Amino acid sequence: MKKKTNVCVIGPSKKFLSGISYYNIRLANCLSSSYSVSVLCFRNLLPRFLFPGSKHVGKDLSDVEYDSSVTLFDGMDYNNPVTWYRASKFLKREKPDVIIMQWWTSSVAHMHLLISLINSIRVRSKVIVEFHEVVDPLEESILPIKIYSRIMGRLLVKRADMYVTHSESDKKLIAAKYRIPCDRIHVVPLGLFDHHINGMSKEESRQNLGLNGEYVILSFGLIRPYKGIPYLVKAFGELPEEVAKRSRLLIVGEIWEDRESVENAIASSRYVDRITLIDKYIPDSEVSLYFSASDVVVLPYLRASQSAVAHLAMSFKKPIIVSKVGGLQESMSEYDGTYFIPPADDSAIKDAIVRIYNEKPGEFEPPKRGWDDIMDKYAEIISKII
């Protein structure tokens, strides 16, 4: 009997929970249908007080788990050499043929490089680096971190055999930034984040939220400057009165940055009484509540590589107003429920909301982007480097 190829996926644990944590789990689980899969998790990513979402660190917020067939090491800490040694032993024991490293922030770059060094000395696996960001906007805005990020990114990239991005636009940016030949960069779209669907009806979710009879405009996800939330608030304030008085702008997500501009925009809106801000990280048990209750989802990003929230909204079959930026333009073009707008354009957001309010388009079928499709694309890449 032919031995299965061993694949080790490396990314964040659920302690510092984020969309990458979910992606790591879904990717490992889908690969486990064809490969022997292990997962090495980065547990403590950085000093807790430096993490913008420190309030939710360590809380039990996620219902998504690794498949029982996946061998898990959870975890490796940024500041604990004992865990680095244990990670080294784990990799030596598992002997993966392929290592897939998730790259989303330079705060864990030294751990990536440690894994790369351990691999070159003790394991000698082929390495795939999967880019979820070309650059993090916060890291790019702080000069010392910006320099550190670029240096560490280039060191890591040089040690990889293949690269994965989630869009053609990111592929071009990464090829230029790191001087990588395009034939070594493969595009694998994000799978739909459909694990939050629980069958809750719109009526039930609205009753639970006390939103009966209102037209619900939903903004969901971490609040950061590049998400463009003040533009959405301004657009809501420009709605015709007959639309606004029947509507509720529901802004749901933990504020990481930009608190003052978001709160000031809300306070100065002429429809401030029609705006609800829920400033917290939403646990899995509540995600369906907000999406099921919504009539339209608005993502007024100023820039983006990809958006897990967009893939959530597609899973819930909602009309989505989204900025025509970066990888979002590419990934959302296959979804009939997409209403593209220019970035930083509150008038365009307002017009799109009014159009959808009047048209009442109903549900849309999401594009075929199941995790079995992701598995097939990864199988092609793995077969090329084994």
Number of helical H runs and strand E runs in the chain: 15, 13
Q: Is 304 inside any structural domain?
A: yes
E strand map for the chain: 6-12, 36-42, 71-76, 98-103, 126-131, 162-165, 185-187, 215-220, 247-252, 275-278, 296-299, 320-323, 338-341
Q: Is 365 inside any structural domain?
A: no
Number of domains in the chain: 2
Q: Is 145 inside any structural domain?
A: yes
Domain identity same for 125 and 227: no
Q: Are 62 and 21 in contact (CB under 8 A)?
A: yes
What is the Rg, in whole angstroms, of the alpha carbon atoms belonging to the chain?
21
Banded pLDDT at 82 (limits 50, 70, 90) = very high
Q: How many of the other CB atoms lie within 10 Å of CB of 258?
A: 17
The whole-model pTM stands at: 0.92
Rounded to the nearest 5°, which phi and psi values hold at 187? -100, 120
The CA distances from residue 357 to 52, 181, 244, 281, 324, in Å, are: 35, 46, 10, 28, 21
Which tens digit of pLDDT belongs to each residue from 249-291?
Answer: 999 999 998 899 999 999 999 999 999 999 999 999 999 999 9
Q: Lowest mean pLDDT of 2-6, 27-31, 158-162, 288-292, name the range.
A: 2-6
Instruction: Say which DSSP state 222 is in.
Output: -
Q: Are 75 and 58 in contact (CB under 8 A)?
A: no
Q: Is 320 inside any structural domain?
A: yes
The percent of residues in the chain predicted with pLDDT above 70, rounded, is: 97
- Check whether 1 has a pLDDT greater than 60: no
Domain identity same for 208 and 330: yes
Domain identity same for 22 and 111: yes
Give pLDDT, residue 369. 85
CA distance 92 to 166: 30
Which tens digit of pLDDT belongs to each residue from 183-197?
Answer: 999 999 988 888 887
Closest CA to 13 of 44, 35, 55: 44
Domain identity same for 31 and 159: yes
Instruction: Say which DSSP state 107 is in.
Output: G
DSSP run (H or E) holding 386: none
- Check whether 57 has a pLDDT greater than 90: yes
CA 237 to chain centre: 29
Which tens digit of pLDDT belongs to each residue from 136-169?
Answer: 666 666 667 778 777 877 888 888 999 999 999 8
Instruction: Say which DSSP state 68 is in.
Output: T
CA 187 to chain centre: 16
Closest CA to 27 of 43, 46, 6, 8: 8
Give pLDDT, residue 362. 87
- Residue 3 token pair: 């031995």
Q: Which of the listed ranges 141-145, 167-171, 317-321, 360-364 does the model predict with the highest average pLDDT? A: 317-321
Range of the domain at 46: 6-191+370-385
CA distance 171 to 187: 7
Q: Between residues 140 and 364, which one has the greater pLDDT? A: 364
CATH number of 309's domain: 3.40.50.2000
